[in-house]
């Protein structure tokens, strides 16, 4: 089960699949982004947290574009995580 949450708004949804999780996040962001910056989190079935923040900076005309770009990136990231691969939430080792 995926848990999807955003703040402000403190909305929490759950979803059984990646597409449903992304649809829930899209709904949350579409509702909250016009009001200002939003922090979001998706917790996958393994307990891994995928986090981020988004802001439109008054550019409401960019809402659909911003949400779609994020969902495209998260789709791949969530699938890599399910497959056991790396994802953006993990820190990369520093080079000496």
Residue 91 has pLDDT above 70, yes or no: no
> In angstroms, rounded to a whole number, what is the distance separating the alpha carbons of residues 61 and 80?
31
Return mean pLDDT, the chain. 87
Q: Domain ranges in the chain?
A: 2-82
pLDDT category at 71 given cuts 50, 70, 90 is: very high
The pTM score is 0.82
DSSP-derived secondary structure for 10-75: TEEEEESSHHHHHHHHHHHHHHHGGGS-EEEEEE-TTS-EEEEEE--TT-GGGHHHHHHHHHHHHH
Structure confidence by residue, pLDDT tens digits, 38-69: 999 999 999 999 999 999 988 999 999 999 99
CB 74 within 8 A of CB 25: yes
Residues 6+ apart with CB under 8 A from 8: 32, 35, 36, 38
């Amino acid at each position: 089960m995926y848990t999807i949450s955003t703040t402000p708004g403190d909305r929490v949804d759950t979803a059984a699949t990646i597409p449903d999780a992304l649809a829930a996040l899209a709904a949350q962001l579409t509702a909250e982004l016009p009001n200002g910056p939003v922090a979001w989190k998706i917790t996958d079935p393994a307990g891994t947290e995928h986090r981020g923040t988004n802001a439109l900076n008054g550019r409401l005309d960019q809402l659909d574009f911003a949400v779609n770009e994020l969902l495209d990136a998260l789709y791949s990231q969530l699938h890599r995580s399910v497959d056991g691969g790396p994802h953006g939430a993990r820190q990369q080792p520093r080079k000496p």
